[in-house]
Amino acid sequence: MMNRRGFLTSAGAAGLAVAGGSVLSGCTRPERGENEILVWGVGGSTRQYETQVVDAFRQERPDVKITVNNVPSSGTGDATQVITAVRAGTAPDLWWMDRFSGAQYAALGLLEPIDDLIEKYEDDDLRDQYLPFAMNELKLNGKTYGLPTSTDTRVLYFNKKVLRESGIDLDELDPANGAPTVARLDELSDQLIKTDGRGNYAQLGLIPWADQGSGYLFALGNGASFFDDETCGIDLTAQPILDAYVYLDQWTREKDYNRVDAFKATYEPPNHPPAQTSFLGQQQGFVIQTNNYRTSVKKYAPDLELGYTNLPVFDPNDPIYTWSGGFSLVMPKGSSKSKAAWDFMKFYAGRQGQSIMIPQTGELPTYRDLLGDQAFADAKFFIDQLSYSTSRPPFPVSQVWWEAMFAAQESIKLGSASPIEALRVAQARVAPQMQLYCPFRMPEGYGKTGI
């Protein structure tokens, strides 16, 4: 039988001592003055925008010394660096982190709750100023573990020129007409198919499991809930999930996975430069991507006639839907939780920080008062999509669940398992680990849409 130590090992936390609710014990943190803050921040090209936020805060609070480091990570769910720092007593005061990991890291004892800081320093409940689904990703068992700094949304993009050349009426894809059905989108995609003299695909429509398309996305659109509060149970073989994966299987068998894979390898090879994709190269008419995909199109294919609309639904009466991810600022275990750290956290994740950073990164704000700001006027369609959005389930086994869902998808693509077989494997992997945290309930309001 798996215990919590076994789960920690599988989550990349091998060798940690666990006590009382998986709280990690570390050495004494190095002394920093009450107005000194250590931040593990963003990396890559967005670091320059974060620097602007830091500089703006320094103008307001010249008494606060802020040191910002970039700490490499292998991706979502990789807690190696913060685990090491917590154990050594060298954790930063603030950490910029993928929000999806919030509940899992809190369950492992890696994060400090911030409810006491809100109660101590704020007259109003700061949490109400953020998108509910983004705030819920940072909650566990009634406690709050961070503030959301950004979000995104997923939509269906299309190449207007490619569609027109195949005789497709673009008015049919006007978002005002609602969401296209999966069946109709498949018909439109079939109109786009071209092959060369050897029968290889030279042009395709939507590849439903590529880019931001996934079994999870189609299951969500099919009404899947993924977790039952009453039973503290996960059923990955539930009918809405199974039907979505059956659709992926049927599409893949019909289109022949090997031919589709060869198409992607030709026009979008492994380790390709950003400009070399089948959609940007106009070999693909549809793609599911996030809102900030527009930035890539403008940069690498400025002449591409880009259109976008709602994600496809299985039934014409199904509601419009999407899902959102994003990032956050959290306080790792051992943070000073000082007034200076709290003030910077509020600034970075609040109106001031988001109004500086988000327009430049192409993401969307989580601070609700910014949604109608003129700086985001050209993103109105995507901001409107937030009304239909939710997050992935914020439970303690988030990363294991996510990996299991994609492992099932991969098995189906390759034809190595039927949809029900693949999902049963996923269920066997995730459900026992979730039971270690029962009783458990999702944050209040999880799964409900609206901003």
How would you write the pLDDT of the chain (451 residues) with one tens digit per residue? 444 434 443 444 433 333 334 445 545 555 677 899 999 998 888 899 999 999 999 999 999 999 999 876 555 567 788 889 889 899 999 999 999 999 999 999 999 999 999 999 998 889 999 999 999 999 999 999 999 999 999 999 999 999 999 999 999 999 999 999 999 999 999 999 999 999 999 999 999 999 999 999 999 999 999 999 999 999 999 999 999 999 999 999 999 999 999 999 999 999 999 999 999 999 999 999 999 999 999 999 999 999 999 999 999 999 999 999 999 999 999 999 999 999 999 999 999 999 999 999 999 999 999 999 999 999 999 999 999 999 999 999 999 999 999 999 999 999 999 999 999 999 999 999 999 999 999 999 998 888 8
Tell me, what's the pLDDT at 280? 98
Tell me, what's the pLDDT at 447? 86
**DSSP tag of 175:** G
Q: Which of 442, 429, 439 is nearest to 399 (CA)?
A: 429
What structural domains and CATH numbers belong to the chain? 4-151+326-389 (3.40.190.10), 154-323 (3.40.190.10)
Provide the 10 A C-beta neighbour count for residue 266: 14
As a whole number of angstroms, the distance between CA 391 and CA 326 comes to 9
Angle at the Cα of 433 from the Cα atoms of 231 and 392, rounded to 5 degrees? 70
As a whole number of angstroms, the distance between CA 28 and CA 25 comes to 10
Helix (H/G/I), strand (E/B), else coil: 94: strand
Q: CA 184: distance to chain centroid?
A: 27
Tell me, what's the pLDDT at 76? 59
As a whole number of angstroms, the distance between CA 349 and CA 327 comes to 10
As a whole number of angstroms, the distance between CA 354 and CA 46 comes to 13
As a whole number of angstroms, the distance between CA 214 and CA 321 comes to 14
Q: What is the dihedral of CA 450, 343, 329, 79, to 10 degrees?
A: -150
Helix (H/G/I), strand (E/B), else coil: 166: coil
Tell me, what's the pLDDT at 80? 85
